[in-house]
Structure 1
Amino acid sequence: MTEYLSFRRAFGITFGFQCLIALVLFLFGLFAFVKVLTHQEEGYAAMAFREHLGVVLLANLRILPSYLIVTVAYAALAFPFVWRRKAMTDVGRCVGRFRKVRLLAWMVLVNIGLYALSLGPFFSRSPGLLGGAAQYLEAIAPGLNLYALYHLHLLEIATVGFILVCAVAAVVYGRIAWHFWKSRPRQRWEQALLAGVLLAIGGGAAWSQVTTASSKTLSIPTSRPNVLIIASDSLRWDRIGAHGYVRQDITPHIDTFANEATTFANMHVATASTLESWATILSGQFPPTHGLRYMFIRKDHADSFAQQPTLLPKVLNDAGYETIAVSNWAGNCFSLVDMGFSRRLTSDVQNFNAFITEATVWAHLLFPLYFSNELGERLVPEVRSISSHVRPAALADRMVHEIDRTTDAGKPFFGVLFFSTTHLPYMASYPFNLKYVDPNYHGPHRYHIDVRVHDLITTGFDPELPPEVQQHIRNLYDGTVSEFDHYVGYVLGELEKRGLLNNTIVIVTSDHGEDLYDPGSTLGHGTNFLGGDQSTRIPFLIRRPGPSGEPLQAGHRIDALARNADIGPTILDLVGLPIPEAYEGVSLAPLLDGQVTSLHLPVFGETCYLFFPKEKALVDLAPEEKERLYTLSDARDTLEVDKDFNNNMVLKKQFHQGVIDSKDRMIRSPKFKLIETPTKSGEPIRRFYDMEADPGQRKNLAQQNLPEMNLLRDLLHRYWNEGQAKSLRLPAAPSL
């Protein structure tokens, strides 16, 4: 029995060593977690440890199973390379001090090698790891270029090495199992059980790294057409190749889709903020009517909106549709507010628990390295709320799975597949993160936009970045656009495989655009209307199947103004359902069918909640104008945690009306744009632009007091103060 006991002792020593490493890493993670919290200037550490200590402790304890899994896996992989029977036996008998030191050194080297090789198959699966690892390594290796991992193919080499390690381990365990099977017939049940456990662990690890859609091929068409909206947060209209972008390789799948779709070239949102924008789309109402005016809403606002019986998903539910929302942290709005979907596979992100989860996960780097996958989401479901945990492939497959489930039941579906890919911090997955960046760039925001919470709240985004940094930021953003395009192509391909494309209305769009250091702007969205239409103008491509499945109006472009409040009414009209009287938007079907060339719709807009002082958002205003601004305190003073609303961050009640009153307002006609910025005196600062002659909004015509400005000012007043959005139309005058 000596040999069998030495094997068990040897494995026990190896496992014990891995447990020691795991303990050290866990304690280091706890230290890093405390350090992260205590370095927040906004009092988050005090709030966390004083009011949410249970949440803090639970978040860190829930990471422990991941350490156990890694410990077992590394013990199994390391053992074949450290098992020397005599040395291990001597160590087990507490003899041979030199041998123990030598064995310890060898085990350390083996583990370093294993961790290095494991970067190959795991590192590229988490986009956030590139920037996260850079922050950890910056102190000891300033200027380290982690892009070299890709350019020098080091990750591919490491992957091959890791596979070889697994193969060697499999051979060793196979020989051990065969030896015991032959020599220990009475213990075969133990060996079979051990083999089953190892296979289960290996199979589970492999499964966690692979996400594939169902292999289903054909579905039975339903009586009503299906509807699928594929959207990405903060996607600009001008970043689509088919819209004339200079990088013609950026969106090949969307460009192909555009050839079969109708493109709205002037679709605008009422608020360039996710919650408010989706509320407008799904209610068919403008923000002053539907009531969701900022992202940090209170529970009574969420409940009031959810009670509306005419929300688009509710109307479709009543008509027999399965309504599905699939998103990650960007689709927090679908979890925050019940918008009527019968199936919600979405995340929470703006509650305090999510903040603690993010701090915990990034403190324990082992978790994002090995568990940015389905297994990680099962261990810690809250990880879906983390901005770096994007997994767009998993989102696409979840929607495909939901479509299969729905069509198997013989029901039509209305789906919203909403990606966070193009949202700040512009963190694309490999290889899209390398597609447009300069490999020799060594400036700030190297791997993604890196902004500390304190800096964002107090100063906003830096308005004076050098041109090369601004261009690098645009390059990062373009990589995310290309990644979104990839998944648009994937989902469309899955629909085609199932025979659903010719019975499905497909829309590719966004919730709002994005500022990318356009004239007079910095980064983000919804903070102002300066620099052009880049924040409110969104792509909107709609493919409609005809009676025989062929796309209607394929490749057609519509230049007339349209609003995201018109999307809901249009969908209902296209599927043959009546449009509720409560809707303020109108159906765009007459434009789609070519009956008219314009519906004379004015575009209305308002800015969103500001984390930082308003003068930081309006960088184009003169100093004397900034002095006149109606401003509020920043997020440190205006937000609080509502324990009765799932620990969500909410706006304090006393700031509700102030946030609304301080909003910039905008009205847009085909030719002109009028912006009104509230001031302390009550008389707004007006900016009036000829968008045909001056699309970058560099020449303010407000002082000319043109009749067109006065007409738009009257319409904006009636929209904002009198609730007449539904009836307001632009005159058919060509000069407007």
Structure 2
Amino acid sequence: MGPNQAPLFPIRILRISLWFTVFFYLFFLIFNTSFTIMGVDVGDFLKQYLGAFFGVYLSTTFKVFSVSLFLHLNLFSLVYLAYHFFGKKEVSWYVLSFWVLFIECLALCHSLVSFPQIYGEFFFFRYPSFASFLYFLTDHTRPGYFSFVLGSLLLGFLSILLRQIYLHKNKESFFALIHVSVLGLIHTSGHYMIGIFYFAILFWQGKEYQRIHIKSYGLILIFLFLIYLVPSVWNQIEALTHSAEKGKPPIFILSADSLRYDKIGSKIDGKTITPNIDLFTKDSYVFHDHHTTIPRTFPSWADLLTGQYSMSHKVRDMFPSLEEKQRIGSASFPTIQQMLKGLGYDSYAVGSFAADIFPRANFGFDEVLAPNFNARIMTVQRTAESQLFLLPFLTGSWFSGGMYLEEMDGLSTWGDGARILDRFRSIIKRKGNSPYSVTYFSSVIHFPYTPAYPHYKSFTNPNYYGKYKYLKFVDPTNSSVPDVIETKQIRGLFDSAVSAFDSEFGEIISELKSRGIYDEAIIILTADHGEALYEDVHGQGHGEHLRGEAVTHVPLLIKLPKSTNETKPNHEFFGITSSVDIYPTLIDFFGITTKSKFPGQSLLPILGKTNWEEERTVYAETGIWFSDKGDHFFQKQRIPYPNILSLHQVVPEEDYQIMITDPIYRETIAFSKHRSVQNSNYKLIYIPTRQGVVFELYDRKKDPLNQRNLYPNHPAAAKMKDMLYKTVIQWEDATLAGEYLIPSSLSEMNETK
């Protein structure tokens, strides 16, 4: 073939791809966009945000459109190449469009079966008449069916390409191979803007590829092959630069959002839902009565990683102000990662959507492989979610994709643990046995309970067909209780999510064992909080109240290095412990000295024992209340303040983060919190109301659902009330007004410095 032949990719491929992209982008934007998230109206917030930051909305829209355009250029060019190699150089636009649409429909079906929760809003809140199609797919097909067809198409295309190279060995065939390699590289890396730039050069160059010497194509192919190998080779090289140091074992804090204690070892029809964690209990110390300090993710992690109560460091909800966040990692509140840094440790955080707290404060991590959270990211997510044909590519249903929009990592309906496991493995490959810590935080158990295929089928009713078949969001404004069948389905979703996390945990332990890291590692398994699942009148969710065992009682399992762990008579501890105990335990293990005082205690002295020698009490408080509507029992016990959509502000100078900045609201939130102290036998709850302070005292062993209030006549009432006041006054510097606790404000604390 001579240099005068027509361009391999005529300009009409660009035109067809562009029109195809514009048509379907606008189609889905018009017919698949709403101002609700799983039935909860967020219209006022979005209108306010879009009005104030319309430029940001335009830029994020351009971002999503650009990804769609690159993917369509990718597909149209590949389909056209296949016809070109068969000698059909004049293929009509509708034939090309048919094949691209066919491929996208296959990818969509694969994604629907793999992650039906991502499409829950479309099928259950916008177009419920289409739900039967989703039921059919998940009941009668598997992702592998569609992977097989897609793989066959790709294999067929590659066979045609290799045949072309074998028969002709000309510049055109080698150029086509380079084109496919470049597209694969861009697709797996997600650099779509580079891809668009590549296509611009491709269409502009016309037939210039004929001027390149055929030997140069060989060099280019070798170069591309080496680029494919770079990540793996780089990890191997970095691993060779690290070595183990005596007395500095790798540390792994493994956690799942909303993992309840009672789910560990729980059996359904004789089958345990946590087989991997059950095996791990044999190698670890198990703390059976462990509690979180606050059942909300951000403040709970702040407490665990600083060893201090939220009432001390002031991060008390999910939307702290800048002044409050800056206290985390400060000289007054150093994190455990910062303390370990002094010993030569590198620290990493890995997690899915609820791990968006880690980039939002200075927790001391050297690298955070987790999503962020702000209004700009929410806008990208909402725009991308409307594009049904785009979602499969954004979530990796199309051959190792899923890297195009990092904002999609924060999608709450995407409970696939495979992507964060890959990030965890990459750290292990790089670091080996050297001094480092990894905090791994899975969100699959957090509502809306979204385990990927096949886990969402594990413990749910296959004959249930309703809006809770695949997921269940919390709507704080809805006080109605699901019927018996729906409640069973929701609990089945939760159990399936627990089972999915257990599989993630098993993968982690297997990886550590295969690399010879497990025996000498410190491994801590815990959770940030639990979850209420319609026990008694407790509703669904966490952080709204402190009744029952479900929301604060979480697992704690600690495995110490084999070489430093003396044989102890008992590995099960039944005394009460708190999440603020983990910090002093680690600094005790490493012999780190500090002048700071901690509300928690090191657990090392009690290893091998079964209980405390003296009675111990632990503290907890509620989170911010998300809604001022509803008829739940706990909403009747509240000092009311506006719902979360009215309280927060979008702060552009802080990368459009969502914060509650008004000091009056912040002080109201702190003043209104329910608080509790509990020991092994009793729990006292402090509830401020407009009519006065209400106290509730419950027998934890005889009345775990907290249905019979023993206050004020029980002998333990006065002692526990005194303990609660002493705890809050000591760690918050609070004052008393009658029976009300008046929290210290951040402004007062700053004025005294």
TM-score by length of 1: 0.85
Please name the residue that 1:195 is paired with.
Answer: 177
Of the candidates 443, 454, 458, which is equivalent to residue 431 of structure 1?
A: 454
Please name the residue that 2:487 is paired with.
Answer: 470
Asked if 2 retains the 8 angstrom alpha-carbon contact of 1:262 and 1:554, the reply is no
Please name the residue that 1:144 is paired with.
Answer: 132
Aligned positions of 1:678-717 closer than 5 A? 678-681=688-691, 683-703=692-712, 705-717=713-725
- Measure, in 2, the Cα distance between the counterparts of 1:202 and 1:561: 54
Please name the residue that 1:23 is paired with.
Answer: 22
Asked if 2 retains the 8 angstrom alpha-carbon contact of 1:42 and 1:636, the reply is no
Asked if 2 retains the 8 angstrom alpha-carbon contact of 1:226 and 1:414, the reply is yes
Please name the residue that 2:496 is paired with.
Answer: 479
Aligned positions of 1:591-602 closer than 5 A? 591-594=606-609, 597-598=612-613, 600-602=615-617
In structure 2, relative to structure 1, the CA distance for the partners of 1:461 and 1:491 (3 Å cut) is farther
What's the offset of the Cα at 1:196? Answer: 0.9
- Measure, in 2, the Cα distance between the counterparts of 1:541 and 1:85: 62
- Measure, in 2, the Cα distance between the counterparts of 1:127 and 1:394: 17
In structure 2, relative to structure 1, the CA distance for the partners of 1:202 and 1:402 (3 Å cut) is closer
State the AA in 2 paired with 1:684. V
Of the candidates 535, 555, 569, which is equivalent to residue 539 of structure 1?
A: 555
What's the offset of the Cα at 1:566? Answer: 0.8
- Measure, in 2, the Cα distance between the counterparts of 1:601 and 1:32: 58
Please name the residue that 1:605 is paired with.
Answer: 620
Aligned positions of 1:561-576 closer than 5 A? 561-576=576-591
What's the offset of the Cα at 1:337? Answer: 1.1
What's the offset of the Cα at 1:415? Answer: 1.8
1:272-300: per-residue Cα shift (whole Å, max 9, x none)? 01111111111111222222122211001
Residue 430 of structure 2 corresponds to residue 402 of structure 1: no
Moved more, 264-273 or 297-306: 297-306
What's the offset of the Cα at 1:66? Answer: 2.1
State the AA in 1 paired with 2:727. Y
- Measure, in 1, the Cα distance between the counterparts of 2:329 and 2:109: 46
Q: Secondary structure at the match of 2:327?
A: helix
1:379-433: per-residue Cα shift (whole Å, max 9, x none)? 322222222344422222322322343347xx41122111111111111111111
Please name the residue that 1:721 is paired with.
Answer: 729
What's the offset of the Cα at 1:617? Answer: 4.6
Please name the residue that 2:107 is paired with.
Answer: 118
In structure 2, relative to structure 1, the CA distance for the partners of 1:593 and 1:444 (3 Å cut) is same
1:445-472: per-residue Cα shift (whole Å, max 9, x none)? 2211246xxxx4xx53444211111111
What's the offset of the Cα at 1:67? Answer: 1.7
Please name the residue that 1:673 is paired with.
Answer: 683
State the AA in 2 paired with 1:706. H
Aligned positions of 1:239-254 closer than 5 A? 239-241=263-265, 248-254=271-277
- Measure, in 1, the Cα distance between the counterparts of 2:346 and 2:627: 40
- Measure, in 1, the Cα distance between the counterparts of 2:625 and 2:500: 29
Aligned positions of 1:40-439 closer than 5 A? 40-79=41-80, 89=90, 106-107=95-96, 109-119=98-108, 122-123=111-112, 126=115, 128-132=117-121, 134-135=123-124, 138-141=127-130, 143-153=131-141, 155-177=143-165, 181=169, 188-202=170-184, 205=187, 220-223=243-246, 224-241=248-265, 248-308=271-331, 310-349=334-373, 351-373=374-396, 378-407=403-432, 411-439=434-462
Please name the residue that 1:637 is paired with.
Answer: 646
- Measure, in 1, the Cα distance between the counterparts of 2:566 and 2:137: 44
Asked if 2 retains the 8 angstrom alpha-carbon contact of 1:509 and 1:540, the reply is yes
- Measure, in 2, the Cα distance between the counterparts of 1:343 and 1:13: 45
Aligned positions of 1:439-518 closer than 5 A? 439-450=462-473, 456=475, 459-518=476-535
Asked if 2 retains the 8 angstrom alpha-carbon contact of 1:325 and 1:341, the reply is yes
Asked if 2 retains the 8 angstrom alpha-carbon contact of 1:546 and 1:552, the reply is no
What's the offset of the Cα at 1:88? Answer: 6.2
Q: Secondary structure at the match of 2:471?
A: coil
- Measure, in 1, the Cα distance between the counterparts of 2:381 and 2:94: 35
Please name the residue that 1:559 is paired with.
Answer: 574
Number of aligned residue pairs: give it.
Answer: 685
TM-score by length of 2: 0.83
What's the offset of the Cα at 1:203? Answer: 5.4
What's the offset of the Cα at 1:110? Answer: 3.4
- Measure, in 2, the Cα distance between the counterparts of 1:118 and 1:276: 39
- Measure, in 1, the Cα distance between the counterparts of 2:26 and 2:630: 43
In structure 2, relative to structure 1, the CA distance for the partners of 1:551 and 1:76 (3 Å cut) is farther
Q: Secondary structure at the match of 1:306?
A: coil
Q: Secondary structure at the match of 1:344?
A: strand
What's the offset of the Cα at 1:312? Answer: 1.4
State the AA in 2 paired with 1:697. N
In structure 2, relative to structure 1, the CA distance for the partners of 1:109 and 1:533 (3 Å cut) is same
State the AA in 1 paired with 2:592. L
What's the offset of the Cα at 1:42? Answer: 4.5
1:43-79: per-residue Cα shift (whole Å, max 9, x none)? 2233233211121111111123322332133224533
In structure 2, relative to structure 1, the CA distance for the partners of 1:582 and 1:614 (3 Å cut) is farther
In structure 2, relative to structure 1, the CA distance for the partners of 1:461 and 1:337 (3 Å cut) is farther
In structure 2, relative to structure 1, the CA distance for the partners of 1:206 and 1:356 (3 Å cut) is closer
In structure 2, relative to structure 1, the CA distance for the partners of 1:676 and 1:292 (3 Å cut) is same
What's the offset of the Cα at 1:140? Answer: 4.9
Asked if 2 retains the 8 angstrom alpha-carbon contact of 1:326 and 1:344, the reply is yes
In structure 2, relative to structure 1, the CA distance for the partners of 1:236 and 1:598 (3 Å cut) is farther
Residue 538 of structure 2 corresponds to residue 521 of structure 1: yes
Asked if 2 retains the 8 angstrom alpha-carbon contact of 1:461 and 1:523, the reply is no
In structure 2, relative to structure 1, the CA distance for the partners of 1:528 and 1:490 (3 Å cut) is same
1:10-65: per-residue Cα shift (whole Å, max 9, x none)? x7656643432222112224435764489945522332332111211111111233
1:463-507: per-residue Cα shift (whole Å, max 9, x none)? 421111111111111111111111111111111122211211101
Q: Secondary structure at the match of 2:120?
A: helix
In structure 2, relative to structure 1, the CA distance for the partners of 1:504 and 1:274 (3 Å cut) is same
Q: Secondary structure at the match of 1:396?
A: helix
Please name the residue that 2:742 is paired with.
Answer: none
What's the offset of the Cα at 1:691? Answer: 1.4
Asked if 2 retains the 8 angstrom alpha-carbon contact of 1:238 and 1:244, the reply is no
What's the offset of the Cα at 1:122? Answer: 4.8
- Measure, in 2, the Cα distance between the counterparts of 1:34 and 1:133: 9
What's the offset of the Cα at 1:114? Answer: 2.2
- Measure, in 2, the Cα distance between the counterparts of 1:56 and 1:687: 48
1:363-386: per-residue Cα shift (whole Å, max 9, x none)? 223332112249766532222222
Asked if 1 retains the 8 angstrom alpha-carbon contact of 2:108 and 2:388, the reply is no
State the AA in 1 paired with 2:605. P
Please name the residue that 2:743 is paired with.
Answer: none
What's the offset of the Cα at 1:144? Answer: 0.9
Q: Secondary structure at the match of 2:519?
A: helix
In structure 2, relative to structure 1, the CA distance for the partners of 1:168 and 1:345 (3 Å cut) is closer
Q: Secondary structure at the match of 1:699?
A: coil
- Measure, in 1, the Cα distance between the counterparts of 2:325 and 2:140: 50
What's the offset of the Cα at 1:654? Answer: 1.7
Structure 2 segments unaligned to the other structure (5+ residues) = 191-227, 734-753
Q: Secondary structure at the match of 2:245?
A: coil
